[in-house]
Structure 1
């Protein structure tokens, strides 16, 4: 689907000269509250940085899911052939920010000094860190929940491994060129490179649910610890 085939709304060409001189900022209220997006309502300062990362992750996963749904409902215009790039970017980025939040939460519980920004964009390394932290967490807290967490990270790990079988350059959904300036795997071939949209939708749900579950468990520990400390302060 070429850009010229995308159905945008009609625009008034007579506005171009004035808009070139002054363009109203998009960062303002619309008269209709339902046509206004509040950037800080979900991800505001009232949350920890870990929770803010998760809120952003949820947004990327939900957008990817809804784009997939639209493609599966009707793909006669072949929009999936171009939408797959923002879909995969959103999934990859959603995984990244969730893993960073998970690693930060587990590090706090395990009394480790780790910054939430550590790990860059390397999904395999981030997931490896999460696995190691989960093993340590599981060893210190042997119960059915920590066993389920360990099973959950293996699902995420397998999904990431499937991507890395194609490429270890996570810019594949952002640019046609890789870091080495060569075309990505889908550029450097005459054969079709395809994605099963139904399978991707199914796996997306499992990956998201596992990441969300893994994140919430250490956070619950931290909440209980904070409540216990508050009770002790009230007692004294």
Structure 2
């Protein structure tokens, strides 16, 4: 909603300021969906109730992929899952490429949208360059709508098709 709002009314350049809350909320939402899917799969596979990855959505997504591949026995279901996360995978990889530029030693790199510097006073990727780091809001909005829809489908699938029955 915030992205759509600034896209429609950006005459005062508020997108440059509000992009950080947009990215923070987006990444946090993705993180929570992935953790919910992980938790459901842990229950279904009777595995240790643990969520790996802290706030690193790349790591959490990797964990979800691994668990889905173990849980789903049919090749068709695995392929369907991979199609549903294609856009998410692309977003996470693109985001991670930007984050890796600034600090490859830091374990939790998702705080770039909360603070301009790390705890060690290392600038994030958008400060460490003289070039603008741009976000195509139209593309962002359409991608995030699809990602949200697919994450919701997946989380509901594992919860209602298996756990709630």
Q: TM-score, normalised by structure 1?
A: 0.62
Query: d(CA) in 2 for partners of 1:179 and 1:152?
Result: 36
Give 1:149 deviation, angstroms. Answer: 2.2
Aligned-partner SS, 1:187: coil
1:215 aligns with 2:155: yes
| Structure 2 residues not aligned, in runs of 5+ | 101-108
Query: d(CA) in 1 for partners of 2:90 and 2:46?
Result: 28
Q: Is the 8 A contact 2:33 2:151 kept in 1?
A: yes
- Report the counterpart of residue 86 of structure 1 in structure 2: 21
Give 1:155 deviation, angstroms. Answer: 2.7
Query: d(CA) in 1 for partners of 2:78 and 2:163?
Result: 15
**Equivalent position to 1:114, from 49, 63, 71:** 49
Give 1:146 deviation, angstroms. Answer: 5.0
The 5-angstrom pairing of residues 1-236 of structure 1 reads: 66-115=1-50, 117-139=51-73, 142=74, 147-168=79-100, 169-220=109-160, 221-224=162-165
- Report the counterpart of residue 104 of structure 2 in structure 1: none
Query: d(CA) in 1 for partners of 2:153 and 2:12?
Result: 37
Give 1:143 deviation, angstroms. Answer: 7.2
CA RMSD of aligned residues (A): 1.6
Highest RCO, 1 vs 2 (Cα 8 Å, sep ≥ 6): 2
Equivalent pairs counted in the alignment come to 156
Give 1:119 deviation, angstroms. Answer: 2.6
Structure number with bigger Rg: 1
Q: Is the 8 A contact 2:84 2:150 kept in 1?
A: yes
Q: Is the 8 A contact 2:87 2:143 kept in 1?
A: no
Which runs of 4 or more aligned residues in structure 1 lie more than 4 Å from their structure 2 counterparts after TM superposition? 143-146
Question: Which string of whole-angstrom CA distances, capped at 9 and with x for unpartnered residues, describes residues 142-196 of structure 1?
Answer: 2755542232133322211110010042111000002431111111111111110
Q: TM-score, normalised by structure 2?
A: 0.87
Q: Is the 8 A contact 1:137 1:146 kept in 2?
A: no
